Amino acid sequence: MSLLLSDITLTYPDGDSRLTALDQISLEAENGTVTAVLGPSGSGKSSLLAVAATLITPDSGTVTIDGTPTTGRGRGALTALRRERVGIVFQQPNLLPSLTAVEQLQVMAHLDGRAPRGARGRAEELLTAVGLRAQAHRRPHQLSGGQRQRVNIARALMNEPTVLLVDEPTSALDHERGAAVVGLLAELTRQRDTATVLVTHDRTHLTEADRVREVWDGRLRPA
């Protein structure tokens, strides 16, 4: 099991009291499968992904990534674990305006300290995998919204993650382009054997999921 969330509770400060964003949530994600987490706005989906990515430490419960428990680890160790094992696709691509598509991916490898030549080949291979071979040398303003999101996905795969966390990847896309992006994610999940967690509020994406869980007021239930 590549990702294991066990009995996670997360609260945020809320005036004099605390708001419970996640309430004793447990979730597993296996390699080569897409686990969709469905839920309305404010139900706790982004909080769940942030905990899974070890970007937020929960009040209680444990996160295990690729067999490595994260509880009690320092910031540096968590950052290293994240860089090695976790890919994150945020809602907005947040691409750097001055870099071409292939350079956006190479920057990731640079952060990881990989050899530039190997990184270039991997970046080109990933852009081909997401259907952007011909656009590899374009800058973000020369790409469509769907193409930018594909660059975002390819970038998240640069470090060959075992866990891929995806937050509403289609929120800025029309239905057809959104469905194509989710289909691509499912294909890459099988091809690259990632344990993918896809957070969405759109039920039409569920056909691509191997498992669906629904989050409601911070609690999980089968959909």
Residues paired with residue 68 on neighbouring β-strands, in sequence order: 65
Q: Which is nearer to ligand ATP, 188 or 215 (CB)?
A: 215
Minimum Å distance from CB 110 to ligand ATP?
30
Please name which of 211, 215, 223, 220 lies closest in space to residue 34, comparing C-alpha atoms: 211
Q: How far is the CB of 46 from ligand ATP (least distance, A)?
A: 3
Q: Please say which residue, 12 or 67, places its beta carbon nearer to ligand ATP.
A: 12
Residues that bind ligand ATP (CB under 6 A): 12, 19, 21, 39, 41-47, 201
CB-nearer residue toward ligand ATP: 192 or 205: 205
User: Would you say 14 or 160 has its CB closer to ligand ATP?
Assistant: 14
CB of 1 to ligand ATP, least distance (A): 23
DSSP 84-136: HHEEEE-SS----TTS-HHHHHHHHHHHHT--HHHHHHHHHHHHHHTT-GGGT
Residue 163 beta carbon to ligand ATP: minimum distance, rounded to whole angstroms = 18
Q: How far is the CB of 220 from ligand ATP (least distance, A)?
A: 12
Q: What residues contact 148, with CB distance under 8 A and at least 6 apart?
A: 93, 95, 140
Closer to ligand ATP by Cβ: residue 39 or 58: 39
To 10 degrees, what angle do helices 116-129 and 145-156 make?
130
| Rg, Å, the chain Cα set | 17
